[in-house]
Structure 1
Amino acid sequence: MTDKPAAFERRKRNSKARTRQMAGALSVALAVGFTALPDTARAQSYSFSNVQVEGNQRIEQGTILSYAGIARGQSVSAAELNDAYQRILASGLFETVDIVPQGNQLVIRVVEFPTINSIAFEGNNRINDDALSQIVQSQSRRVFNPRIAEADAKLITEGYVQQGRLAARVQPKVIRRSDNRVDLVFEVFEGGVTEVERIGFVGNEKYSDRRLRRVLNTKQAGIFRAIISSDTFVQDRVQFDQQVLKDFYSSRGYVDFRITGVNSELSQERDGYFVTFNVQEGQQFKFGQVTVSSDLPDVDVDAFQNEISLKTGKVYSPAQVDNEIARLERLAIREGLNFVRVDPRVTRNERDLSLNIEFQLTRAPRIFVERIDIEGNTTTRDNVIRRQFKVVEGDPFNPREIRESAERIRALGFFTTSDVNAREGSTPQQVIVDVNVEEQPTGSISFGGSYSSSSGFGLAIEFRERNFLGRGQGISLGFNTASSSKSYTFSFNEPAVLGRDLAFGIGLSYTETNNDNSDYDTTIGRFSPSLTFPISESGKLALRYTAKYSDITSASSDVGELVTAETLEGARWDSSVGYTLSYDTRRSGLDPTAGILLEFGQDFGGLGGDTSFVRTNVRAVAQKMVMSEEVTLRATLEGGSINYANGGSRVTDRFFMGSSVMRGFESGGIGPRERNSTTDVDDALGGNLFAVARFEAEFPVGLPDEYGISAGVYYDIGSLWDLDKVNADVIYDDFSARQVVGLSLFWDTAIGPLRFNFSHALAKEKYDKPQEFELTISSRF
């Protein structure tokens, strides 16, 4: 901070400079205007035989004369002399300028601004010097200009305001050096962060304040306010939240929703804002009659009508209408109908609060895509962006397809901003699509932890890059360790093989378990390349090959007969091909409050290797938000089977039901066991068959939103059973349902979401191993 005497001296110098400038202008008027008093004299022109420049050191005399625009022998008036004075001063090169006529000689006296020797920033911690250097216009080895320095100070202040530091102040300070040079120092007082203390809503009846706050990007200041940036007040973010709020209501049928105003009030201490959204929800509308019409002779209206998936009585959503338009336009292209446009015509029915939709097929103007220009991508390659377009140069122009392409570019997550616009090309029948993007970091390091009573604490570290070498490829390296196991993983993914919607992936993993919690060690290595491609709007098919190495070693004297026999088999190689069919509407479904996931996969062993088998997995997940979307209900059904034609399955092949499959039990805590109390044998063997059903509900607990705490209850029922070989000591080989109820606490912290599970087994077998408490931690930086 500059002290008061220094600030006073600076104001005094600025005052003197302004006085000199005024005196310079006045001297021109006095020197020329008072040469004669009569009106005829004031209109007289003057001519100077010589123009002399004084005081210039770096600026050439010719440069100054060019700004003045007065040549020797040229007739000039007093007004023209004043214009010359203003032009020289406006050049920004001189601190003061005086123009003094002396008979037939004109003297121009100047005092040059100093040059900037260096630029420094003091007091800045939140924004580093490099970032501030990109903001300011002043540059070293350039002429110092006080007006530019003051403007730079305002730009720096605005940068801090964007971070929510409204109390930030920046003061430019000049330190004089020799040879008419100065050091320019920007003294920064960053001030504290102005947080959002409270977000409220007025006029909302259908959805609570808590539910609406979850929609917004701006968050209330919480207990981790020192490291969370989303609770900082940023005006641009609040404006964006208005659009997010409109989209939320619109997707739920509230077509008349309006935001009548947003009040942002600063607290008396100026350290927090109270933001209030004033809304009018209106009525919720549903779909009425949905029809297709066309006046084009070559259009089969019935074929397009059969393509409609919207159902009467469903809640209206503009996104669903857009999906239908895209579906109809794709059908038109398949039918060879180019330049067909689908226009939705909406008719309101106030009586039953429905909207009738008529999709009218019309002929669009014959406009083609001339080219696609991409700018701003310093890391990401052009082809990564270009393949998000389904149109290429020469294709018919479709505005809807361009908008969808823009959404796909944004969905990549590679750019902070991405703008896609169309402009007229070389002819009115052609358009040029401009894509402007700004890169953002795409790499991350993840730290995770877990705790269970069986294996203690575990640590997981993962490096992930989503845009490897700018090719749009994904790569990850992971390390996971606990007291009883360690694993290493590597994965690579190419999302567009040969520029098509075909993903190629490679997975490598190596896992070791030791006998801290069992009486034998295992080593498992896996290599699995795969291809994945869409088969419908929500469906995908994945094809894969898997090579697996497994070995069981270091069996102690406490190991039972079955595991001992499997250990003596030595290392085994499995080679298999498989597939997974999936159908997922949780993100792209028609209902934003519900979704389902269906998966079915099989692997067939025997393509080389030591064994032949069929392994099947199935999973179904359904999710629904109820009670004004305050409560989330989720149901999961999962099962699997494995059948070996030769060799039989081993503990490294069979299913084990840990807490990720069925809560309330340790890994290996249920299912077939070889147990002999006389010899202290107690081996978890896994099973060839398993089935489980999980039901849970998540809901708020009434605490303030800024705490980020919610709760849930769950009920799991399932079983693990069936072995290829048994003996007299094997128990629980048959189906026996276990049941668990529990309570979960969810805590959104600065290091990630924490989940605390407290379980109680309602139905279990005598030698099962329940797990009453589990904590999982996942953090990302």
Structure 2
Amino acid sequence: MSGFGRMWVSVALMLVGLMWGAARAESGEAIAQIVIEGNQRIEAETIRSYLLVQEGHSFDPERIDRSLKSLFSTGLFADVTLHRQGDHLVVSVVENPIINRIAFEGNMRVKDDVLSQEIQLRPRVVYTRTKVQNDVQRLIDLYRRRGRFAATVEPKIIQKEQNRVDLVFEINEGQPTYVQRINFIGNRRYSDSALREVLTTQEERWYRFLSSTDTYDPDRLTYDRELLRRFYLQHGHVDFQIVSAVAELTPDRSGFFITFTIEEGERYRYGDITVDAKVSALRERDLSEFVASREGEWYNANEVEKTVQKLTDAAGAMGHAFVDVRTQLKRDREKQRVDIVYDIQEGPRVFIERIDISGNVRTLDAVIRREFRVVEGDAFNTAKLRRSKQRIENLNFFEKVDIHTVPSETAPDRTVVKVAVEEKSTGDLSFGVGWSTTAGAMMEIGLRERNLLGRGQDLRTSLMVGQRRVQIDASFTEPYFLDRDLAAGFDVFAIQRNLQRESSYDSSSLGGA
């Protein structure tokens, strides 16, 4: 090879060497070994599985940074560092402790088992600050639902051996946060006192010490908005609106002022009422007999709902289970009349696969299911589902009732009805004192349970003790006797009278019905 050729070969080798050196400098040297430090319970191989770099890879800062984030995202570690020592990548970890025990202190009004069900952390679960703060908020929300907005929760940890901790929630329940005042703005036709009678939330009074309706509950306030809307729609106020419902907490956090801002609108009467059946077999039938309202009467949303239900049932009785009855309202604001068209159309063929009920800790499923106007396997019917929800709410066993549907996972023409309820107290205790010309001074105590043993049965007992009279009463009602929509029950009483002053004898009577 000539000297000129050897020179070009040397230059080429130099360029290749420079390019290889630049590439090596850019990518960094290869990782010879990954060293795991600080792990106690978690295996080193488990930690390596979360890394995005392995032995033999280059020291890539971006992938090392992503590996750091990957380890933190597991929630297993309180601290993680990755650093280079020569050709070794050292991963130092500080494991989050394991919860050994969870305890509650300071809770007098709410039992430990209720609080335990509310939180998500459990013994033998990895402790993280985020999970603890989330559980603190859940406990605060629980107390707020029970009307205690002054409650505070402070988490404390007690270090134990083997990287374990005891988690203690220190609770200051505070005083109940009562509703001190309920105000209405915009009501002209009905007084504040009349509208307060519609609501389930009540103002604080000394004689309501056995009731919780005078404590503030956001869910109850939402239900009160619906009750207020129903009330006005039942009395002809088609344009009624609730502009706002604001609950203001006093500066000392001792009470709430609730203000409803409403627009009543004008009161309407019925105008023309027609039934438009787009199902061919129903066009030939006279369906007007199922309309509950008449022209000229005051508009009532309950009557409209009853008509929708009657038309749906009538169509089903005629062999058309899949119908959709919708109402179309046309307002005449000058004459203050509203025309109604009941539009009957063929609905989608969807069946109810099953009805799932949740949230009923004490009330039996059967008590809720018997209020449904549909059962599993029936054709899906929106009107009947609305009526079922209303019947469950009318039981007055639950603070909240939510019914919604989700598509079935087994068939496209099936749907699953989800029912979520939140139970409330159904017991009543009453006291009374008085005076009678026949019995003298007397005192009475009464006890009632409207949902006995979660079966929906009603049990009442009362005892009246007077100077010249003692009376005991007891009654029991089974609302669904023999699983039929038939109420049955009994009443018994025992009366002892002292008639020595009037007739020189005593009287005893025992009876029932």
Shorter-chain TM band: 0.7 to 0.9
Q: How far off is 1:465 after superposition?
A: 3.8
Using the alignment, how far apart are the partners of 1:112 and 1:297 within structure 2? 72
Question: Deviation digits for residues 729-752 of structure 1, max 9, x if unmatched?
Answer: xxxxxxxxxxxxxxxxxxxxxxxx
Question: Deviation digits for residues 700-729 of structure 1, max 9, x if unmatched?
Answer: xxxxxxxxxxxxxxxxxxxxxxxxxxxxxx
Distance 1:462 1:268, change over 3 A: closer
Distance 1:126 1:505, change over 3 A: closer
Q: How far off is 1:262 after superposition?
A: 4.1
C-alpha contact (below 8 Å) 1:46/1:77 kept by paired residues: no
Using the alignment, how far apart are the partners of 2:321 and 2:423 within structure 1? 36
Equivalent positions of 1:305-324 (< 5 A) are: 305-324=288-307
C-alpha contact (below 8 Å) 2:350/2:380 kept by paired residues: yes
Confirm or deny that 1:407 pairs with 2:390.
yes
Using the alignment, how far apart are the partners of 1:160 and 1:515 within structure 2? 54
1:386 — aligned with what?
Answer: 369
What's the secondary structure of 1:59's corresponding residue? coil
Match of 2:442 among 440, 458, 466: 458
Match of 1:151 among 124, 130, 134: 134
Q: Which runs of 5+ in 2 are unaligned?
A: 1-20
Q: How far off is 1:281 after superposition?
A: 1.9
2:34 — aligned with what?
Answer: 51
Q: How far off is 1:42 after superposition?
A: 5.7
1:290 — aligned with what?
Answer: 273
1:482 — aligned with what?
Answer: 466
Question: Deviation digits for residues 204-231 of structure 1, max 9, x if unmatched?
Answer: 2222333333333444444569876444
Equivalent positions of 1:228-307 (< 5 A) are: 229-269=212-252, 271-294=254-277, 296=279, 298-299=281-282, 303-307=286-290
Confirm or deny that 1:499 pairs with 2:483.
yes
Confirm or deny that 1:212 pairs with 2:169.
no
C-alpha contact (below 8 Å) 1:292/1:301 kept by paired residues: no
Equivalent positions of 1:139-178 (< 5 A) are: 139-178=122-161
C-alpha contact (below 8 Å) 1:294/1:301 kept by paired residues: no
Using the alignment, how far apart are the partners of 2:325 and 2:458 within structure 1? 37
Using the alignment, how far apart are the partners of 2:108 and 2:22 within structure 1? 64
Using the alignment, how far apart are the partners of 1:52 and 1:242 within structure 2? 63
Distance 1:521 1:143, change over 3 A: same
1:521 — aligned with what?
Answer: 506
Q: How far off is 1:198 after superposition?
A: 3.7
Q: How many residues align?
A: 491
What is the root-mean-square deviation in Å for CA atoms of aligned residues? 3.5
Distance 1:366 1:474, change over 3 A: same
Which structure is higher in helix share?
2
What's the secondary structure of 2:224's corresponding residue? helix
Q: How far off is 1:321 after superposition?
A: 0.9
What's the secondary structure of 2:197's corresponding residue? helix
Q: How far off is 1:400 after superposition?
A: 0.8
Question: Deviation digits for residues 458-499 of structure 1, max 9, x if unmatched?
Answer: 344444443444443334444444333334444443322343
C-alpha contact (below 8 Å) 1:343/1:360 kept by paired residues: yes
Using the alignment, how far apart are the partners of 1:470 and 1:398 within structure 2? 28
TM superposition score normalised by structure 2: 0.81
Instruction: Supply the AA of the counterpart residue of 1:151.
Output: N
Q: Which runs of 5+ in 1 are unaligned?
A: 1-37, 529-781
Using the alignment, how far apart are the partners of 2:282 and 2:76 within structure 1? 71
Distance 1:92 1:363, change over 3 A: closer
1:359 — aligned with what?
Answer: 342
Q: How far off is 1:169 after superposition?
A: 3.8
C-alpha contact (below 8 Å) 1:455/1:517 kept by paired residues: no
Using the alignment, how far apart are the partners of 1:91 and 1:473 within structure 2? 51
Using the alignment, how far apart are the partners of 1:446 and 1:228 within structure 2? 10
Question: Deviation digits for residues 433-478 of structure 1, max 9, x if unmatched?
Answer: 3333344454455544443132023344444443444443334444
Using the alignment, how far apart are the partners of 2:278 and 2:239 within structure 1? 31
What's the secondary structure of 1:210's corresponding residue? helix
What's the secondary structure of 1:47's corresponding residue? coil
Using the alignment, how far apart are the partners of 1:336 and 1:95 within structure 2? 66
What's the secondary structure of 1:173's corresponding residue? strand
What's the secondary structure of 1:199's corresponding residue? strand
Using the alignment, how far apart are the partners of 1:265 and 1:463 within structure 2? 35
C-alpha contact (below 8 Å) 1:292/1:304 kept by paired residues: yes
1:137 — aligned with what?
Answer: 120
C-alpha contact (below 8 Å) 2:230/2:301 kept by paired residues: no
Distance 1:491 1:223, change over 3 A: closer
1:109 — aligned with what?
Answer: 92
Using the alignment, how far apart are the partners of 1:394 and 1:189 within structure 2? 50
Using the alignment, how far apart are the partners of 2:399 and 2:496 within structure 1? 41
Match of 1:327 among 310, 317, 326: 310
Question: Deviation digits for residues 663-689 of structure 1, max 9, x if unmatched?
Answer: xxxxxxxxxxxxxxxxxxxxxxxxxxx
Using the alignment, how far apart are the partners of 1:332 and 1:490 within structure 2? 45
What's the secondary structure of 1:73's corresponding residue? coil
1:93 — aligned with what?
Answer: 76
Distance 1:373 1:186, change over 3 A: closer
Name the % identity. 37
What's the secondary structure of 1:185's corresponding residue? strand
Using the alignment, how far apart are the partners of 2:469 and 2:149 within structure 1? 51
Deviates more, 1:43-52 or 1:439-448: 439-448
Q: How far off is 1:360 after superposition?
A: 4.1
Distance 1:188 1:39, change over 3 A: farther
Confirm or deny that 1:472 pairs with 2:456.
yes
Q: How far off is 1:353 after superposition?
A: 0.7
Instruction: Supply the AA of the counterpart residue of 2:383.
Output: R
Using the alignment, how far apart are the partners of 2:119 and 2:167 within structure 1? 12
Distance 1:330 1:450, change over 3 A: farther
Instruction: Supply the AA of the counterpart residue of 1:452.
Output: S
C-alpha contact (below 8 Å) 1:367/1:430 kept by paired residues: yes
Question: Deviation digits for residues 323-382 of structure 1, max 9, x if unmatched?
Answer: 222233334444555445443332222332111223344444444334434444444444
What's the secondary structure of 2:387's corresponding residue? helix
Using the alignment, how far apart are the partners of 2:139 and 2:228 within structure 1? 31
Q: How far off is 1:257 after superposition?
A: 1.8
Distance 1:155 1:72, change over 3 A: same
Question: Deviation digits for residues 385-424 of structure 1, max 9, x if unmatched?
Answer: 3322343344333221121122222222333433333344
What's the secondary structure of 2:262's corresponding residue? strand
Distance 1:127 1:337, change over 3 A: closer
TM superposition score normalised by structure 1: 0.56
What's the secondary structure of 2:352's corresponding residue? strand
1:435 — aligned with what?
Answer: 419
Confirm or deny that 1:369 pairs with 2:352.
yes
1:78 — aligned with what?
Answer: 61
Which structure is higher in strand share?
1
C-alpha contact (below 8 Å) 1:483/1:516 kept by paired residues: no
Equivalent positions of 1:529-568 (< 5 A) are: none
What's the secondary structure of 1:97's corresponding residue? strand
What's the secondary structure of 1:43's corresponding residue? helix
Using the alignment, how far apart are the partners of 1:329 and 1:297 within structure 2? 15
1:629 — aligned with what?
Answer: none
Equivalent positions of 1:673-684 (< 5 A) are: none
C-alpha contact (below 8 Å) 1:196/1:220 kept by paired residues: yes
Q: How far off is 1:283 after superposition?
A: 1.0
Instruction: Supply the AA of the counterpart residue of 2:415.
Output: V
Equivalent positions of 1:611-630 (< 5 A) are: none
What's the secondary structure of 1:501's corresponding residue? coil
